Structure 1
Amino acid sequence: MDKKLRLGDLLVDTGKITQEQLSQALAYQKQKDVRLGSALVELNILTENELIEVLEFQLGIPHISLYKYPIDEKVINIITSTVAKNFSVMPIKVQDNRLTLAMADPLDVVAIDEISDSTGYEVDPVIAAPDEIKQAIDNHYGIKETVDKAMENLKSQQQNVSDDMLEIDTLKDMVDDAPIVRAVNSILEQAVMEGASDIHIEPREDNLQVRFRIDGVLHDIMTSAKSTQAVIISRLKIMANMDIAERRLPQDNRFQTEIKGKQIDIRVSTLPTIYGEKVVLRILDTDSLILDVNKLGMSDTNLEKFKKVLNYSTGIFLVTGPTGCGKTTTLYSVLNQINSSDQNIITIEDPVEYRLDGINQVNVNTKIGLDFARGLRSVLRQDPNVIMVGEIRDKETGEIALRAAMTGHLVLSTLHTNDAVSTLNRLADMGLPPFLISSTINGVLAQRLARKLCQQCTGIGCKKCNETGYKGRVAIQEMLVMDDSLREALQNNASTSKLKEIALQNGLITLYQDGIDKVSQGLTSKEEVLKVAYGEGIK
């Protein structure tokens, strides 16, 4: 590559722009203080793709998508955020003393020479779209820059800030300082803005890693110095009203904070690991809660069955599936559907995730002996019409729930099973009598969440979906309605395979089939269905 060649000259020489257009872009560049490539795009003289094509095909410089490229977090510290922003570059890899640098303008000799001189690495430029570079800088330097500034301020005030075993009184003073408050708030804000469901803050041997779970997938967000560990984790524990002196035992609590004008509930869980306390924050955004049963993503057939089951005033309705599959959201939508002034609805949850108007919600508290079974017994003395039990975890809770259903109550709850039919045998395996199960269960909904194809690019990859091809999630469901044939088979101790055979004869749509139907509708991909449906229905 000719290091003396400039972008403007190359574009004129290849006939992509005229000398007049170059002059116009240079004037705009000076006026707006932007790079020449950005000026050409903003003036609609060229598109980003046209710019990239010239550089890639005329000069043989590789083009990459930063949305798809896994950036090594260890290289982020090689250049500062100021250098990255000034030159519109992003370091992505180091190998054999060579730094691979994503650049909006790979002909920028000044940038290449300055970065090479300051880092000691030979620079190998690759082309990336300016918007992708900006997004990468925001993602990888945004939080990190705030955290680093906070630590610099703290170091000027405190000694031994890197010690993970700082005195508790010292830590309490430090975590209330404005810099660390801003640092933690920036992590929370970015997570909410990106639609994350969980934040993982994980201590490693030499650093602290931050990851977000977005649409069910964990993404690396930031790797921070080990010295940030004690203050960041202690700040979160104080926000959640936890004991910051207790680092040997797991703790759970929650707090509420305002982000971009919205009240956000955050559930906090700590876990002691060999490198320090790991913290997971579950983000509960009430604005994203679906309370309309018509918007749960059910097929017309499943929705019809679902609504039929909801018309019963007694019996049990169960939602089943792994953690994070939307069971609570579905049950809350059911409560919202049946909630009225003539109903006494009581829930027992561990913990209460969202607060619902007009519904009496009880938090399980095992520390004082208030578990699901004890709470359920007490609720039955409160003249309820509808009872929601967060989970049937044992025989005692299951037996009380079934007997409550037999005595004129509608009971809603969840279980962890692979599909709807196996739920019936799972209850029997707990030691619950088959006659009691068969006479009280109205229906079972098995549910999974699959990544949804980006509706803007239909899975190809675009800026909206960070080039992943997916944006949001879609529910895949299996709706089982109990009938006489299933009840009779269950009372005769039929196997799960026999029960499933009967259910299929009666029109059951399996998880796999519902997923394939949603593939045909362009909502998700077969790969996503196979991830969550385990090939159910493939014979």
Structure 2
Amino acid sequence: MGKREQQIFRDTLINMGLVNEEQLEIALKEQQNTGDRLGDILVRLEFISREALTKALASHFGLIPINLKEYNPPKKVVNLVPAAVARRYKLLPLKLENEILTIALADPLDFLSLDNLEKTIGYKINPVLAKEQDMESKLTQHYGVSEETLSTLVTEISESNLSIAGLEGESIEETGEDAPIIKFVSMLILEAFKARASDIHVEPLINRLRMRYRIDGILHEIQAPPKKIQPSVLSRIKLLAGMKIEEKRLPQDGRILVTIMGKTLDLRVSALPSIHGESIVMRILDKSSLLLGLGELGFIEEDQKKWSEVIKTTNGIILVTGPTGSGKTTSLYAVLNELNTPDKKIITVEDPVEYQLSGINQVPVNPQIDLTFANALRSILRQAPDVILVGEIRDTETAEIAVRAALTGHLVFSTLHTNDSASALTRLIDMGVKPFLVSSSVQAILAQRLVRTICKKCIENYQPPVEILKMIEQEMGAEILKTATFKKGRGCEQCNNSGYKGRLGIYELLVMSEKIRDLVLEQIVSRKIRDLARQEGMKLLREDGWIKVCRGITTAEEVISNTQSDVVDVEE
């Protein structure tokens, strides 16, 4: 800040009554020693709050507040301001009209530095004000990681408590000129952990390298290094995962073990050749997230009671259904934790074993040596278990063995990929299992989805649109609206301005009755089975979701997007 600007700044602060002369002099002396921005020093010395300073200066300088999330400036406009300048002053170019460049500022204090920027870029500047947390994410999205930034990651990662091992658990050493790349990959994993991401996507595009985290089921683009160091980044990940670095024509799978602050993560890595390079996805298996109790899964009281009773039966098949990523493994591990007592022998066959459970015998599938679900299940039966978990019923052979195990005194848990609970019964028949075997062996089916829950930090009361209220009334009846408490998240730093943080399940629990068994024997279509189950008290996925919307746990948008094919009518 020049002398003239500094004097304007001093006069402004004093005239507005934000600080006095003595406080300002103390701050100016501190600035001479540290070189920090004057406003930051005033806040640090507690002469003024950040909120008061921002609000007063924005008003004084006539800065109009905007919602930065609504803007997506074109690359040619963003490139008018160098990345280093944008990051230093936390600003983002938005649009260029009639030789006037509109720039969003996160801090009104930077208003006084725009004169120099105007001279540098050659355009008159129209400043507007944006929230700082919005600015951080936008800067990451539009500027990514520059080459000079990579070297600064070394210090950041060195100070974090992170260690990475390869497939067999050996330490991967950092050497020589590759150290910045090594540190960058470590940062990529560390930041994914901090962001609660379930997957890391590294995607080569025609002119850039795109990186994204999947958080609570939604993909978010993050900072990425320059395209020209793409080969080094991909090679580093493949090395850690135990893959063949020189093989770029065939898909490969690998594994990375990561310890962050004493917490062990298991990353399952997939490399897929594409026309612009290998696309890599790292799925993060957070072992602690799989150790939930039944009460933490999100069941409503009625369904939790039914589920707790049905899993304690002594024999039969209990299925959990849903698409990939719907939380089936978490639900089944919660069941195993509940049943894991000294008087029971429990054996699982999984692909992969996602968490090692104390007191339970777990068998990993290995197709390379013909250890399939079916072959493992045959051997498991000779071990005289009480409870068996089959990770997934993928074929007729596995289905038939599981059914026969259930009919010979074993309690079998497994998963299927069906949209609802009733469809699981017809799926088994379609796979070749005889209807009388399905009818007599299956005890219950739990269909599920995951919906995002409202952030507890920024949750607030909310009145949904009339269309949503009408939809709930049509599908659930008017009574539920009388006691409904609708909530939403306004967005904050804790939830990355999404309004959501965390997920829980919505469920559809079908418990077999004699009437339903009869319909299965008659090979009646799944819709008829579903209708009968509803008459007997089953709640559909969508209905369970509406209950949680009316309790202020999630939002209507989440329920609708996850149950689009599950529309119901209360008069059915």
Q: TM class, shorter-chain normalised?
A: 0.7 to 0.9
Would you say 1:470 and 2:476 are equivalent positions?
no
Match in the other structure for 1:244: 245
Alignment-mate amino acid for residue 240 of structure 1 = A
Q: Once the 2 structures are TM-superposed, how far is the Cα of residue 35 of structure 1 from its aligned partner?
A: 2.9
Match of 2:519 among 484, 489, 493: 489
Change (3 A) 1:220 1:6: farther
User: For 1:391, what is the secondary structure of its paired residue?
Assistant: coil
2 CA distance for matches of 1:31 and 1:522? 51
Where in structure 2 are the equivalents of 1:308-323 lying within 5 Å?
A: 308-323=309-324
Match in the other structure for 2:230: 229
Q: After alignment, is 124-133 or 289-298 more displaced?
A: 124-133
Residues 7 and 105, structure 1, Cα contact 8 Å, conserved in 2 = no
Q: Once the 2 structures are TM-superposed, how far is the Cα of residue 410 of structure 1 from its aligned partner?
A: 1.1
What do you get for the CA RMSD once the two structures are aligned? 3.3
Q: Once the 2 structures are TM-superposed, how far is the Cα of residue 367 of structure 1 from its aligned partner?
A: 2.5
Q: Once the 2 structures are TM-superposed, how far is the Cα of residue 460 of structure 1 from its aligned partner?
A: 1.4
2 CA distance for matches of 1:360 and 1:105? 57
1 CA distance for matches of 2:21 and 2:137? 31
Change (3 A) 1:147 1:346: farther
Q: Once the 2 structures are TM-superposed, how far is the Cα of residue 37 of structure 1 from its aligned partner?
A: 3.6
Would you say 1:444 and 2:445 are equivalent positions?
yes
Q: Once the 2 structures are TM-superposed, how far is the Cα of residue 105 of structure 1 from its aligned partner?
A: 3.8
With normalisation by structure 1, the TM-score equals 0.86
Match in the other structure for 1:479: 509
2 CA distance for matches of 1:70 and 1:527? 23
2 CA distance for matches of 1:74 and 1:365? 51
Q: Once the 2 structures are TM-superposed, how far is the Cα of residue 285 of structure 1 from its aligned partner?
A: 1.6
Q: Deviations over 1:315-340 (max 9, x none)?
A: 11111111111101111111111112
Residues 347 and 380, structure 2, Cα contact 8 Å, conserved in 1 = yes
Residues 81 and 145, structure 1, Cα contact 8 Å, conserved in 2 = no
Q: After alignment, is 485-494 or 130-139 more displaced?
A: 130-139
Match in the other structure for 2:455: 454
2 CA distance for matches of 1:6 and 1:325? 58
Residues 89 and 101, structure 1, Cα contact 8 Å, conserved in 2 = no
1 CA distance for matches of 2:67 and 2:176? 38
Alignment-mate amino acid for residue 518 of structure 1 = K
Q: Once the 2 structures are TM-superposed, how far is the Cα of residue 100 of structure 1 from its aligned partner?
A: 4.9
Match in the other structure for 1:199: 200
Residues 11 and 54, structure 1, Cα contact 8 Å, conserved in 2 = no
Where in structure 2 are the equivalents of 1:57-206 lying within 5 Å?
A: 57-65=59-67, 83-84=85-86, 87-91=88-92, 93=94, 95=96, 100-106=102-108, 108=110, 111-116=113-118, 123-130=125-132, 133=135, 148-149=150-151, 177-206=178-207
Change (3 A) 1:310 1:65: same
1 CA distance for matches of 2:85 and 2:560? 44
Alignment-mate amino acid for residue 151 of structure 2 = K
User: For 1:499, what is the secondary structure of its paired residue?
Assistant: helix
2 CA distance for matches of 1:40 and 1:59? 19
Residues 147 and 225, structure 2, Cα contact 8 Å, conserved in 1 = no
2 CA distance for matches of 1:209 and 1:142? 9
2 CA distance for matches of 1:271 and 1:298? 38
Where in structure 2 are the equivalents of 1:275-294 lying within 5 Å?
A: 275-294=276-295
- Structure 1 stretches of 5 or more lacking a match? 153-171
Would you say 1:218 and 2:248 are equivalent positions?
no
Q: After alignment, is 123-132 or 65-74 more displaced?
A: 65-74
1 CA distance for matches of 2:100 and 2:313? 68
Q: Once the 2 structures are TM-superposed, how far is the Cα of residue 409 of structure 1 from its aligned partner?
A: 1.1
Match in the other structure for 1:327: 328
2 CA distance for matches of 1:6 and 1:438? 83
Match in the other structure for 2:167: none
2 CA distance for matches of 1:259 and 1:117? 46
Residues 140 and 223, structure 2, Cα contact 8 Å, conserved in 1 = no
1 CA distance for matches of 2:394 and 2:80? 50
Q: Deviations over 1:459-492 (max 9, x none)?
A: 1122221222111112111111111111111111
Residues 81 and 93, structure 2, Cα contact 8 Å, conserved in 1 = no
Residues 6 and 108, structure 1, Cα contact 8 Å, conserved in 2 = no
Match in the other structure for 1:525: 555
Residues 425 and 496, structure 1, Cα contact 8 Å, conserved in 2 = yes
Change (3 A) 1:24 1:483: farther
2 CA distance for matches of 1:227 and 1:376? 49
Q: After alignment, is 177-186 or 57-66 more displaced?
A: 57-66
Would you say 1:510 and 2:547 are equivalent positions?
no
Q: Once the 2 structures are TM-superposed, how far is the Cα of residue 179 of structure 1 from its aligned partner?
A: 2.2
Alignment-mate amino acid for residue 265 of structure 1 = D
Alignment-mate amino acid for residue 125 of structure 1 = P
Q: Once the 2 structures are TM-superposed, how far is the Cα of residue 225 of structure 1 from its aligned partner?
A: 1.6
Residues 150 and 181, structure 2, Cα contact 8 Å, conserved in 1 = no
Residues 73 and 95, structure 2, Cα contact 8 Å, conserved in 1 = no
Match in the other structure for 1:341: 342
- Structure 2 stretches of 5 or more lacking a match? 155-172, 460-488
Would you say 1:389 and 2:390 are equivalent positions?
yes
Change (3 A) 1:451 1:175: farther
Q: Percent identity?
A: 45
1 CA distance for matches of 2:25 and 2:498? 38
2 CA distance for matches of 1:509 and 1:335? 24
User: For 2:498, what is the secondary structure of its paired residue?
Assistant: coil
1 CA distance for matches of 2:330 and 2:73? 34
Q: Once the 2 structures are TM-superposed, how far is the Cα of residue 65 of structure 1 from its aligned partner?
A: 4.8
Change (3 A) 1:119 1:410: farther
Q: After alignment, is 34-43 or 212-221 more displaced?
A: 34-43
Match in the other structure for 2:164: none
Alignment-mate amino acid for residue 89 of structure 1 = K
Q: Once the 2 structures are TM-superposed, how far is the Cα of residue 260 of structure 1 from its aligned partner?
A: 2.7
Match in the other structure for 2:405: 404
Q: After alignment, is 97-106 or 496-505 more displaced?
A: 97-106
User: For 2:65, what is the secondary structure of its paired residue?
Assistant: coil
Alignment-mate amino acid for residue 513 of structure 1 = E
Q: Once the 2 structures are TM-superposed, how far is the Cα of residue 352 of structure 1 from its aligned partner?
A: 1.6
Q: Once the 2 structures are TM-superposed, how far is the Cα of residue 144 of structure 1 from its aligned partner?
A: 5.3
Change (3 A) 1:407 1:504: same
Q: Deviations over 1:258-289 (max 9, x none)?
A: 22332211110111111110000011122333
Change (3 A) 1:78 1:520: same
Q: Once the 2 structures are TM-superposed, how far is the Cα of residue 290 of structure 1 from its aligned partner?
A: 3.2
Change (3 A) 1:46 1:349: same
Count of residue correspondences: 517
Q: Once the 2 structures are TM-superposed, how far is the Cα of residue 406 of structure 1 from its aligned partner?
A: 0.7
Q: Deviations over 1:349-371 (max 9, x none)?
A: 12222222222222222233222
Q: Once the 2 structures are TM-superposed, how far is the Cα of residue 15 of structure 1 from its aligned partner?
A: 5.2
1 CA distance for matches of 2:410 and 2:148? 53
Change (3 A) 1:92 1:483: farther
1 CA distance for matches of 2:8 and 2:134? 22
Residues 52 and 127, structure 1, Cα contact 8 Å, conserved in 2 = no
2 CA distance for matches of 1:535 and 1:7? 59
1 CA distance for matches of 2:390 and 2:176? 38
Alignment-mate amino acid for residue 246 of structure 1 = E
